[in-house]
Amino acid sequence: MSVFEGNKASKTINGSVILEDLTLTISQGERVAITGENGSGKSTLLKLIAGIYENTSGEVKRAHLEKGYVPEHFPETIKLKLQEYLMLVGKMSGKSKEELTSEISEYAKLFNVTEFLHTPLKNCSKGTKQKAGIIQALLKEPDVLLMDEPLTGLDDKAQTELLTQLQSLQKNQTVIFTAHESYLIDAFAERVLQIKSGRLVYDSTKLNQEKVRIIKATVPTREYISGIQAMSKKWHGESLVELTVSANESDRVLTLLLKQGCSIIEVSEKR
């Protein structure tokens, strides 16, 4: 089942194109990281997936699932105490006071914030606010958890702690998050999307599915193949090179290599 399907979807805000020509499917149970430089459009994509933003062109389909959204910045001015805030948010999902009290106490233990339950949120540390943002989303028991830069601004200890807590969440839950930290992405994401100037430029799933060929060749000098495009070029000594190319491109690359006077040693296929 797809959580989100975008087909050539774009998002324009105040006349500026923020996301362009986005074709993407996210299935239930996936753990997806959205990466990219500052201002590339990660948060906008997350909001489009969450349904906070609507596309301005193309098509978008979202499954009718419960979503929990963790914003990048927790509102600074909330006067409520942590417990009061979580009770208020939790009530909106129709749970009884007893149910909520016990769930909040469990999450507070898991996220190590029990001692701050009666502290006004505006006096809590950045890390505690970040955890409050995650707990309020989890109280909704979401099928899809969306987090905008969950680790930003946390110190190393808080980052490791939060990562461990996230890893203990249900395995079948869909988790989609934006992040810069490669260790979070490596430890938690099964799929990585990269956004550049509002366009999806990399999807690890697609790359894994795409058939690739490995061409080993000896070349007279390295310059001979400097103009040949490949997914990767790995040198073994001065003259033996291993090129990874898309299966569709391999005939063209082989012809170019032969024209340059290179000798083909081996061509193998890899999925």
Ligand X SMILES: Nc1ncnc2c1ncn2[C@@H]1O[C@H](COP(=O)(O)OP(=O)(O)OP(=O)(O)O)[C@@H](O)[C@H]1O
Report the residue number, 82 or 193, with the smaller CB distance to ligand X: 193
Nearer to ligand X, 201 or 247 (CB): 201
Of 6, 41, 90, 127, the residue at the interface with ligand X (CB under 6 A) is: 41
Give me 18's structure tokens: 């923020």
Give the residue, chosen from 1, 14, 76, 226, that forms a contact with ligand X under the rule CB under 6 A: 14
Size of interface with ligand X, in residues (CB under 6 A):
13
CB-CB contact of 68 with 146 (8 Å): yes
Question: How many CA atoms does the CB half-sphere of 198 hold within 13 Å?
Answer: 13
Query: From the list 13, 65, 207, 264, which residue makes contact with ligand X (rule: CB under 6 A)?
Result: 13
Report the candidate in 56, 69, 73 with the shortest Cα–Cα distance to residue 21.
56
Q: Which two tokens stand for residue 237?
A: 């000594």
Closest separation between CB of residue 180 and ligand X, Å? 7
Cβ closer to ligand X: 29 or 153?
153
Q: Give the residue with the Cβ less far from ligand X, 49 or 86.
A: 49
The answer to whether the beta carbons of residues 235 and 241 sit under 8 Å apart is yes
Nearer to ligand X, 42 or 81 (CB): 42
- Answer whether 113's CB lies under 8 Å from 37's CB: no
The amino acid sitting at 183 is Y
| Smallest gap from residue 31 Cβ to ligand X (A) | 19
Q: What does the DSSP 8-state code read for residue 100?
A: H
Q: Judged by CB, which is closer to ligand X: 44, or 174?
A: 44
Of 10, 35, 43, 174, the one binding ligand X by CB under 6 A: 43
DSSP per-residue string spanning 3-68: EEEEEEEEEEETTEEEEEEEEEEEETT-EEEEE-STTSSHHHHHHHHHTSS--SEEEEEE-S--EE
Does 6 contact ligand X by CB under 6 A?
no
Q: Which of residues 132-191 bind ligand X (CB under 6 A)?
A: 178
Compare residues 83 and 159 and give the one whose CB is closer to ligand X: 159
Strands (E), the chain: 2-13, 16-27, 31-35, 57-62, 67-70, 144-148, 174-178, 191-196, 199-203, 212-218, 232-236, 240-246, 263-270
Q: Which of 3, 9, 18, 70 binds ligand X (CB under 6 A)?
A: 18
Q: Considering beta carbons, is residue 100 or 179 the nearer one to ligand X?
A: 179
Instruction: Please list every residue from 21 through 40 that binds ligand X, using CB under 6 A.
Output: 36, 38-40
Among 9, 10, 33, 42, binds ligand X (CB under 6 A): 42
In degrees, rounded to 5, the angle at the alpha carbon of residue 130 between the alpha carbons of residues 79 and 122 is: 20
Residues in 44-63 that interact with ligand X by CB under 6 A: 44
Q: Would you give the end-to-end CA distance of the chain in angstroms?
A: 24
The residues of the shown chain that bind ligand X, judged by CB under 6 A, are 13-14, 16, 18, 36, 38-44, 178
